[in-house]
Amino acid sequence: MNEELKRIKDELTNCINQALNLKELGEARVKAFGKTGLISALSKNMRDVPVEDRPKLGSAINVLRSEIEELLKEKENKLENEELERKLQEEKIDITEPSIKVELGAYHPIADVIDRLADICVNMGFTVVEGPEIESDYYNFEAMNIPKNHPSRDMQDTFFISEDILLRSQTSAVQAREMETRKPPFKIICPGKTYRNDSDATHSPIFHQLEGLVVDENISMADLKAMLTILMKRLYGEDTKIRFRPSFFPFTEPSIEVDVSCPNCHGQGCNLCKGSGMLELLGAGVVNPKVLEISGIDSKKYRGFAFGFGLDRTAMILNSISNIKNLYRNDIRFLEQMK
Ligand code: DAH
């Protein structure tokens, strides 16, 4: 019987040693301990052994069983390590190999200006809203205190789609929409596309504005001036000088235009500011009480201020772009420089 045990041990040891992978090792395990495995068979054959020999044989089988278990475990560890080693070798990354160049796009200068202005305004408590680009004559003009045949309509050469529908010529159109739906006090800005029939080096038929509107009790021109001063300094730098000039807009009374010292020459005079040292940036004013009333806001209780930025001009100034058309041509050589 001892010889039989030895023969089985040798056979299983051979099988285990020869296993080249975990699958073959699995087969060796079945050969030993499977239902019809060699060691299982030994236990089954116990009943043919004389009773007095059984304890000895039993413990010999147990020894064999644990020896084979041990061998299987060892071999399993070895194969697993080999497998890991092989994977590490195969999946090794050569960090000296030149990489494939990924072309990253650049952020468009207009999107960048909108982000910067929105950041500054949101910090001051403004909410960002949007309005439709295809707008009614009512919101674009009438609700802004510009009735049909009013001479100030000539200030904007509008694209009409029909008698009452147009491509909005100013983001001011969003003012009335917001006043109709919001309860004061509120502070909103609306960046977006605007359209006018106008085209030269500084005008494009499609351009961008950012409208701002604050409605609250006791609003005055002083609030507007303070807010715009902070806004301009945050956008162009602390040393920026700001100039307010009287102006006219039908929706504000009084109205102002706002200039800033040229960030290129700091007021000395250069090409960008055409020698004047200042750049005209936006229109603003205290909201005309008529405009509040048209949209259902009690002008005895509430007042407001509003402002409208030209974003293309702002982007051109911040990036020293001389022709507005560059913003719309999508010339890759131009956009590359915006990275
Ligand atoms: N909507 C005016 C324009 O396009 C700009 C403007 C001026 C907006 C004064 C305002 C404002 O909100 O108060 O020329």
| 217 CA distance to ligand 1 middle (Å) | 22
The closest residue, in CA terms, to atom 5 on ligand 1 is: 308
Q: How far apart are CA 30 and CA 86, in angstroms?
A: 26
pLDDT at position 156: 75
Q: How far apart are CA 67 and CA 82, in angstroms?
A: 23
pLDDT in tens, the chain (339 residues): 678 888 989 999 999 999 999 899 999 999 988 888 888 888 888 888 888 888 888 888 889 899 999 999 999 999 999 889 989 988 888 889 888 888 887 889 999 999 999 999 999 999 999 999 999 999 999 999 999 888 878 777 999 999 999 999 999 999 999 999 999 999 999 999 999 998 888 889 999 999 999 999 999 999 999 999 999 999 999 999 999 999 999 999 999 999 999 888 888 888 878 899 998 999 999 999 999 999 999 999 999 999 999 999 899 888 888 888 899 988 888 888 888
pLDDT at position 322: 81
| 210 CA distance to ligand 1 middle (Å) | 9
* β partners of residue 278: 261
Backbone φ, ψ for residue 281 (5° rounding):
-120, -35
Nearest-atom number in ligand 1 for the CA of 209 is: 4
pTM reported for the whole predicted model: 0.71
| 249 CA distance to ligand 1 middle (Å) | 7
Q: Taking the chain, what is the end-to-end CA distance rounded to the nearest angstrom?
A: 84
Q: How far apart are CA 95 and CA 229, in angstroms?
A: 52
The closest residue, in CA terms, to atom 4 on ligand 1 is: 170
Q: How far apart are CA 52 and CA 280, in angstroms?
A: 114
189 Cβ partners below 8 Å, 6+ apart? 117, 118, 121, 126, 127, 128, 129, 210, 211, 212, 213
| 255 CA distance to ligand 1 middle (Å) | 9
pLDDT at position 53: 84
Map tokens 């982000």 to a residue.
115
pLDDT at position 48: 84
Backbone φ, ψ for residue 272 (5° rounding):
-60, -45
Q: Which residues line ligand 1 (CB under 6 A)?
A: 170, 172, 211, 249, 252, 283-285, 306-308
From 166, 170, 223, 280, mutation site for ligand 1 pocket: most ligand atoms within 8 A of C-beta: 170
Q: What is the 3-state secondary structure (H, E, C) of the chain?
A: CHHHHHHHHHHHHHHHHHCCCHHHHHHHHHHHHCCCCHHHHHHHHHHHCCHHHHHHHHHHHHHHHHHHHHHHHHHHHHHHHHHHHHHHHHCCCCCCCCCCCCCCCCCCHHHHHHHHHHHHHHHCCCEECCCCCEEEHHHHCHHHCCCCCCHHHHHCCCCECCCCEEECCCCCHHHHHHHHHCCCCEEEEEEEEEECCCCECCECCEEEEEEEEEEECCCCHHHHHHHHHHHHHHHHCCCCCEEEEEEEECCEEEEEEEEEECCCCCCCCCCCCCCCCEEEEEEEEEECHHHHHHCCCCCCCCEEEEEEEEHHHHHHHHHCCCCHHHHCCCCHHHHHCCC
From 179, 214, 307, mutation site for ligand 1 pocket: most ligand atoms within 8 A of C-beta: 307
| 139 CA distance to ligand 1 middle (Å) | 14
| 264 CA distance to ligand 1 middle (Å) | 25
